[in-house]
Amino acid sequence: MSPSSVTGAGRDTYVRWRVFALVIIASFVAYVLRSNMSVAGDALRREMGFSLTELGLILSANAWAYAIFQFPGGIFGDQVGPRRALTIIIVAWGAITILTALVPGTATVSTTIVLLLFVVLRFLQGMAQAPIFPIGAGVIARWFPPSAWALPNGLSSTGLTLGAAATAPAIAWAVENYGWRNSFLFAAPLAFVTAWVWWWYARDTPTRHPSVTPAELELIQAGRSADMDAPPEPGAWLRVLCNRNILLLTVAYFCMNYTFYIFFNWFYIYLVEYRGFKTLEGGFLAAAPWIAGAVAATLGGAICDHLCRRIGMRLGCRWPAMIGLALVSVLLVAGAAADDPYVAVALLSLCFACTQFTEGAFWAAAIGVAGRNSASAGGIMNTGGNVVGGVGALLVPFIAEHAGWVPALASGSIFALTGAVLWLFIRADEVMDTEGRTPDFQ
């Protein structure tokens, strides 16, 4: 079975949005299968007798692998093509999730071996999921015109945040009623179904898709440089790695994602242990930041695209990123210090929404600078954005155990302000492949 044939050569068939919808679904599934440990981890920890720090080791293994394999994952996506690359990694997500559910208990083997098995499996899961957003950036670069790069990147984060939002209550409910192992087994088939649909419908480029009309192809090609759809240059990854703007974006993304990982790894546990919410209530409240983030990611991407068309990529990407990060620094402290737990949830949800508001600007800037090497650039930037996950998975519980949850959460404000300042030096309009020539948004 194949996608339908061309029915009207003179009209826009919107195939690019259907292909991209599958990328959003993939990012949704990725975060269901990645953030499930953050919710099920509390029940797992109690069953296995792990300390909070040992659970932190499991979570950090995932974060470190996710960070380490971002750049190789981007190169993999550039070289293999997004259709084949995404199919392979999504199947791996499902298989590793099943294996995690099958890890034996401490009654069968020693606690050390059980801990090691979880660390290894979460490392493998991080490795398999690392390429998703670099490859997604490559899909956007190939399937959308330069004047519409930020909104799809924002929507990728929408899929991410909705996946995490669904995970908190769904996994909490499954753990409460069926145990943490079954919560993993219930989620795993999502990966296999997604992989099959993606392989069936997607193509690497619009020119290879039988349903793309000349009208849609002309729209996609508008404002693109001549070499945008060419294969990656040999050794291009080294040029990307040495690019000043990509490196600044990487450090700024590191700073923003410190706060992201506070929510990803610890928000549910913070609500249950520090704020005193029950298991199911904590699961539903833990979804609030992710829902707010989904709205903010879409809004931020749309605003960034609008500003890029009006004032150019440099300021069009800079303003949403700087404003979002400045608000993160304020709301994080306010939420951590709030006396009322529901007020704290509301403020912290707004804080997380502001992190997601910046996503479209970060990814649009990376694509704008790197051009046809956008997956490699996305891999580098996302490496910085996820190395901090490994740091935060250990630093946050250390601060929480020694100084309390308020300073543990508020520590992210310093990183957010640093990221905002770095954006003053980022030039998203310096295109490395065309010696500074900017895309034409007019």
Mean pLDDT (whole number) for 379-395: 81
Lowest mean pLDDT among 75-89, 177-191, 388-402: 388-402
| Residue at 442 is within a domain | no
- Structural domain of 210: 15-434
243, 52 in Cβ contact below 8 A?
no
The first and second tokens of residue 57, run together, are 């080791």
How sure is the predictor about 186, in pLDDT bands with cuts at 50, 70 and 90?
A: very high
Contact 74, 135 (CB under 8 A): yes
Task: Provide the pLDDT for residue 5.
Answer: 42
Check if the beta carbon of residue 111 is closer than 8 Å to that of residue 58. Answer: no
pLDDT digits (tens, 9 = 90+) for 278-314: 767 777 888 899 899 989 999 999 999 999 989 999 9
Lowest mean pLDDT among 8-17, 32-41, 190-199, 404-413: 8-17
Q: Would 2 be classed as within a structural domain?
A: no
C-alpha 423/C-alpha 419 separation (Å) is 7
Q: Is residue 316 part of a domain?
A: yes
pLDDT number for residue 235? 67
Which one has a higher pLDDT value, 89 or 176? 89
- Per the structure block, which two tokens stand in for 87? 């199919």
Domain count, the chain: 1
Structural domain contains residue 6? no
Residue-level pLDDT at 228: 58
In a domain, 114, yes or no: yes
List the structure tokens of 323.
């404003």
Task: State the pLDDT at residue 197.
Answer: 97
Question: Tens of pLDDT along 157-174?
Answer: 787 778 777 777 888 888
Tell me the pLDDT tens digit for each residue of 306-340: 999 899 999 999 999 999 999 999 999 999 999 99
**Predicted local confidence at residue 10, as pLDDT:** 64
Residue-wise pLDDT for 219-270, tens only, equals 888 876 655 556 666 667 788 888 999 999 999 999 999 999 888 778 877 8
The residue-averaged pLDDT of 422-440 equals: 72
Best CA proximity match to 297, nearest among 261, 333, 260, 329: 260
Q: What is the CATH number of the domain that holds 181?
A: 1.20.1250.20
Q: The whole model's pTM is what?
A: 0.73
CB within 8 Å of 107: residues ≥ 6 apart = none
- Alpha-carbon torsion angle 215, 219, 225, 229, nearest 10: -60
Structure confidence at residue 6 (pLDDT): 40
pLDDT tops 60 at residue 440: no
| Residue 41 in domain | yes
The answer as to whether 205 is a domain residue is yes
Domain assignment present for residue 288? The answer is yes
